[in-house]
Structure 1
Amino acid sequence: MTGAINRIVIAGGGTAGWMTAAMMSKVLPKSVEITLVESEAIGIVGVGEATIPPIQTFNQYLGIDEKAFLKETNGSIKLAIKFENWRTQGESYYHTFGSPGANMGFSSFQHYWLRAKKELGLNASLWDFDLNYLCCEQNKFNKINSNNPIHQMPYAYHFDSGLYGQFLRRYSEKQGVKRVEGIIQHVKQNPNSGFIEGLQLEDGRQFEADFFVDCTGTRGLLLQQTLGVQYQDWSHWLPADSAIAVATEELDIIPPYTRSIAHNVGWQWQIPLTHRTGNGIVYSSSYCSDDNAMETLTDNLPSKMLGTPRKLSFKTGKVEKQWHKNVVAIGLASGFLEPLESTSIYLIQSAVVRLMKMFSTQGHYGSVINAFNRESDIEIETIRDFIILHYNLNERTDSDFWRDMRDLTLPPRLAQKIELFRDSGAIFNDQYDIFLDASWLQVMLGQGVTPASYHPNIDGMSGTELTNILTQLRQAKQAPVAQMMSHQQFLKKYTGA
């Protein structure tokens, strides 16, 4: 790819299109013309309502006021995901955004905790040393003005993704992005280079550009249908291919976490917003009928249903190249991973930021395209492995689905990670893995993997010294919670709602 880029067309709106437009309009010079083409006649998936902490960085870079954002998107705070029935029925654990314990020198905190559990009779769970967990259990939240790393409390948001898209549309249009309403009928290609040159709408209007972003969802109109980039199917690892989503009334108590509830047919999400609750069930049509999934979902809703449930179909996987010729696919046009760890919106953000960091309006792009695709592949593959981890480490016996998930042939990197932790309690971090050691630690422990040993460095500390340190650390983690407001009180005071 060579030549100047003066005009960019984003095909498709929704969260992916407007996040792309917002970031491009912020980063690129005003001389670059950005046009977004979308149609209100084409629906959006719109279930990506839970996020992970990097969304704060995205919003802050755009200069978005957090209070206004939460108010206009009916948002709430997210400190964690609570996994219920995933290991066995009746058990639960949290994957929080915090780090249990504290940095204690050469060895990670879990090694100190493991020794105290094995040899000193410690009856505290790992999560008792996690401030995010303590707040979740008491439905509390408040911003802590402290530089003490013990009191760090990373958080993300739950919000209405449709309202977020509208919020970013207003932002982008103020920045000069031109929105066009219309359905794309034809994609014009250069007969020699194969590059895309323009889009023709049903009413005959044509929009030419030097560079295109495919945000057309699972249709993949530009990258897949027009440029012929193939799709890698990962359903042999993640066989879920269906979801049913429905909104229900807001909850009396809005928890600061997402719920992920495993059932014999799959798993159910509950995402608490201030005006409603997002719900859905994810399942595999090879193991479960639509009627059975619908019955399971409706029997386990937390409040009165709003509207009609809608069925979604998908294929887990990714495109072989996210950037090809003069097209980058962002959002569902680039791939799909079920929303188990709230990574859908993050993958949009990550792709846009990566594109802008590597982007140039002049010059050659061969090496840039290769680097972009390589980083994108590693990132989505590590997220895929993290999702497989939850399924594979289950101990449920109530359905063929869960039994078969235990018998998966795992990706080599994931198999090595589990084996290392099981043998030694150690965790290694992969490049471009958005889930740090604390995340892998919580899920592996929560799913029942108990390390056989801890690091020998810990034996250099006396039992009394270790007990005292852990007692003081636990008290330090608990100290701020008593002074906090309830999550709902915080939202009302902070947003003025």
Structure 2
Amino acid sequence: MTNTAVKDVVIVGGGTAGWISAAVIKRLLGSRVNVTLVESEEIGSVGVGEATIPPIILLNKMLGLDEKEFLRETKATMKLAIRFENWKEQGDSYYHTFGAPGKSFAFCHFHHYFKRAQELGLKDSIWEYDLNYLACEAGKFAHIKSPDPIIEMPYAYHFDASLYARFLRKKCEEMGVVRKEGMIERVEQHSENGYIKAATLKDGTSISGDLFIDCSGFKGLLTQQTLNTGYEDWSHWLPCDRAVAMPSERHENTSPFTRSIAHSAGWQWRIPLQHRNGNGLVYSSNYYSDDQALDILSNNIDTKPLADPNFIRFKTGRRRKQWNKNVIAVGLASGFLEPLESTSIHLIQSAVVRLIHLFPHNGIRQEQIDEYNQQSKLEYEQIRDFIILHYHVNERNDSQFWRDVRNMEVPKSLTHKIELFKASGNIFREQNDLFLESSWLQVMMGQGIDANDYHPLANAMSDEKLLELMRNIKNIKNEPVGKIATHDMFIKQFCGL
């Protein structure tokens, strides 16, 4: 494709996507590349991505961020799970935690033993064997370090995305990333291959590069407006196309989980931060007007609003190529999957890490582009299926929206996973699937899918031994909860607030 060594990397757009990209590239490649980031104070960011999943821990460690400083600078709280309310049916709730129920067994997951125990008369829910769930219900958190994985408590964060971007910007500039303030007025392409050559700002400054990262948000300044990459529309599976966000005063007590509350044509998020709550309603414009959506959100915020509502329009789907010519689209420029499972920031992280793995230091090759795009496509599709699962498998009959998503035709990959679990209780994690078996299990069971069978290995012990095992695991899971601090106390003590 090109024999030019990639020395100059230009990132178009700041925000979370731009500054994560700059931080990862500069931290790992150092002086081998020059990194320039172009952003304008005139352009606001979407800025509602406040909830994350556990891989953010690895990102922050790789960037050398001190956790205490990070928590203070971004007003962060800890996240152990998402609580889904009214999704299966009104009044029902369940958790998707970052932990796993029970303990690991060779060749046979815990839920098979649990299924057999239920048939013997066990009345517990499977979440009673999940330490993350127990800590959520108690409003507690701690860094639990143990050689025994049965009492691990994986976590992520809620944080202010704009403060995180500002925090990373400071770290990036210390590492040598050059920030250019200004609006891009013109993009120049090489005549022979269409590659991006340079971006010219309104003040006439020309910024040339060998590799460009498009973090310009939904508009996709380079990937779409310049290269016309195209978009794969998934709104027939995920019909929500708008959101309205509005911050409010913090609760007296901050919970260590995100709340996702289903309404008649969408769902509401509640995210607790140190200094405020993040609130928003994701909805379909085919079922709600903007005024209706705002009315629903306003009537379901339980603390005083701190700002005017921010309306956001989107279309679920992905760019047909995340890497096109010498442009890699990252963040909203690469596609959009609604924030139901807090994957937006993770998709930024994985896109940049994937680029590092395939970094074209001695010139861009088609083989690298193809591999990058194949991995990106698979990742988006796997997350898409997981999100569709929440909508499609429901028992609500109170609105046309829920009847429509229940009766829609879904991807065959998702149908296979649901039918396999129904028939045998088996769940298999596909290659590089972001979500583990325990995640699929919790959402399928939470949405009301019941397995008709369990693995024969669950019959290897007597009835008495199995029920004794269940009691022992439950006791082990409950034991740490009484010893750890409340979530608010942890934040105060750990951060020195």
TM range (shorter): over 0.9
Q: How far apart are 1:364 and its partner, in Å?
A: 4.5
Residue 79 of structure 1 contacts residue 156 of structure 1 at CA under 8 Å; is this kept in 2? yes
Q: Deviations over 1:328-378 (max 9, x none)?
A: 000000000000000000000000001011103214421111100000000
1:189 maps to 2:189: yes
Structure 2 match to 1:148: 148
1:159 maps to 2:159: yes
More displaced 10-residue stretch of structure 1: 347-356 or 98-107: 98-107
Paired with 2:437 and 2:481, the residues of 1 have a C-alpha distance of 25
Structure 2 match to 1:27: 28
1:106 maps to 2:107: yes
Residue 82 of structure 2 contacts residue 96 of structure 2 at CA under 8 Å; is this kept in 1? yes
Paired with 2:76 and 2:19, the residues of 1 have a C-alpha distance of 18
Q: How far apart are 1:302 and its partner, in Å?
A: 2.1
Structure 2 match to 1:38: 39
Paired with 2:170 and 2:86, the residues of 1 have a C-alpha distance of 41
Q: How far apart are 1:123 and its partner, in Å?
A: 1.0
Q: How far apart are 1:283 and its partner, in Å?
A: 0.5
The alignment of Structure 1 onto Structure 2 pairs a total of residues equal to 496
Amino acid in the other structure paired with 1:116? A
Paired with 1:146 and 1:54, the residues of 2 have a C-alpha distance of 19
Paired with 2:105 and 2:20, the residues of 1 have a C-alpha distance of 39
Paired with 1:75 and 1:164, the residues of 2 have a C-alpha distance of 9
Residue 82 of structure 1 contacts residue 95 of structure 1 at CA under 8 Å; is this kept in 2? yes
Unpaired runs of at least 5, structure 1? none
Structure 1 residues 348 and 364, CA gap change in structure 2 (3 angstroms): closer
More displaced 10-residue stretch of structure 1: 197-206 or 332-341: 197-206
Structure 2 match to 1:62: 63
Paired with 2:30 and 2:85, the residues of 1 have a C-alpha distance of 48
Structure 2 match to 1:212: 212
Structure 2 match to 1:83: 84
Q: How far apart are 1:430 and its partner, in Å?
A: 1.0
Structure 2 match to 1:390: 390
Residue 71 of structure 2 contacts residue 77 of structure 2 at CA under 8 Å; is this kept in 1? yes
Paired with 2:363 and 2:296, the residues of 1 have a C-alpha distance of 55
More displaced 10-residue stretch of structure 1: 357-366 or 424-433: 357-366
Amino acid in the other structure paired with 1:161? A
1:115 maps to 2:116: yes
Q: How far apart are 1:145 and its partner, in Å?
A: 2.5
Aligned to 1:229, the other structure's residue is in SS state coil
More displaced 10-residue stretch of structure 1: 38-47 or 450-459: 450-459
1:470 maps to 2:476: no
Structure 2 match to 1:404: 404
Q: Deviations over 1:290-336 (max 9, x none)?
A: 11111111110021100101100000000000001100000000000
Aligned to 2:224, the other structure's residue is in SS state helix
Structure 2 match to 1:94: 95
Residue 360 of structure 2 contacts residue 368 of structure 2 at CA under 8 Å; is this kept in 1? no
Amino acid in the other structure paired with 1:420? L
Structure 1 match to 2:74: 73
Aligned to 1:423, the other structure's residue is in SS state helix
Structure 1 residues 31 and 106, CA gap change in structure 2 (3 angstroms): closer
Amino acid in the other structure paired with 2:331? G
Aligned to 1:248, the other structure's residue is in SS state coil
Q: Deviations over 1:215-234 (max 9, x none)?
A: 00000010111011000100
Structure 2 match to 1:170: 170
Aligned to 2:450, the other structure's residue is in SS state coil
Q: What is the aligned-residue RMSD (CA, Å)?
A: 0.8
Paired with 1:276 and 1:304, the residues of 2 have a C-alpha distance of 10
Amino acid in the other structure paired with 2:85? E
Amino acid in the other structure paired with 2:219? R
Aligned to 2:223, the other structure's residue is in SS state helix
Aligned to 2:345, the other structure's residue is in SS state helix
Q: Deviations over 1:455-488 (max 9, x none)?
A: 1222232110000011001000000000000000
Structure 1 match to 2:53: 52
Identity of aligned residues (%): 54
**1:39-438 equivalent positions in 2, closer than 5 A:** 39-118=40-119, 120-438=120-438
Paired with 2:398 and 2:313, the residues of 1 have a C-alpha distance of 25
Paired with 2:99 and 2:31, the residues of 1 have a C-alpha distance of 39
Residue 261 of structure 1 contacts residue 268 of structure 1 at CA under 8 Å; is this kept in 2? yes
Paired with 1:246 and 1:352, the residues of 2 have a C-alpha distance of 30
Q: Deviations over 1:106-146 (max 9, x none)?
A: 3110000001112x110111000000000000000111121
Residue 265 of structure 1 contacts residue 293 of structure 1 at CA under 8 Å; is this kept in 2? no
Amino acid in the other structure paired with 1:92? S
Residue 76 of structure 2 contacts residue 157 of structure 2 at CA under 8 Å; is this kept in 1? yes
Q: Deviations over 1:383-442 (max 9, x none)?
A: 000000000011111111110000111101100000000111110111121001000000
Paired with 1:420 and 1:301, the residues of 2 have a C-alpha distance of 40
TM-score (norm 2): 0.99
Amino acid in the other structure paired with 1:84? E
Residue 77 of structure 1 contacts residue 257 of structure 1 at CA under 8 Å; is this kept in 2? yes
4+ runs of 1 displaced by more than 3 Å?
A: none
Q: How far apart are 1:174 and its partner, in Å?
A: 0.4
TM-score (norm 1): 0.99
Amino acid in the other structure paired with 1:192? E
Aligned to 1:221, the other structure's residue is in SS state coil
Structure 2 match to 1:11: 12
Residue 145 of structure 2 contacts residue 152 of structure 2 at CA under 8 Å; is this kept in 1? no
1:492 maps to 2:480: no
Aligned to 1:308, the other structure's residue is in SS state coil
Paired with 2:248 and 2:363, the residues of 1 have a C-alpha distance of 51
Aligned to 1:37, the other structure's residue is in SS state strand
Paired with 2:385 and 2:282, the residues of 1 have a C-alpha distance of 18
Amino acid in the other structure paired with 1:113? F
Amino acid in the other structure paired with 1:476? I
Residue 8 of structure 1 contacts residue 35 of structure 1 at CA under 8 Å; is this kept in 2? yes
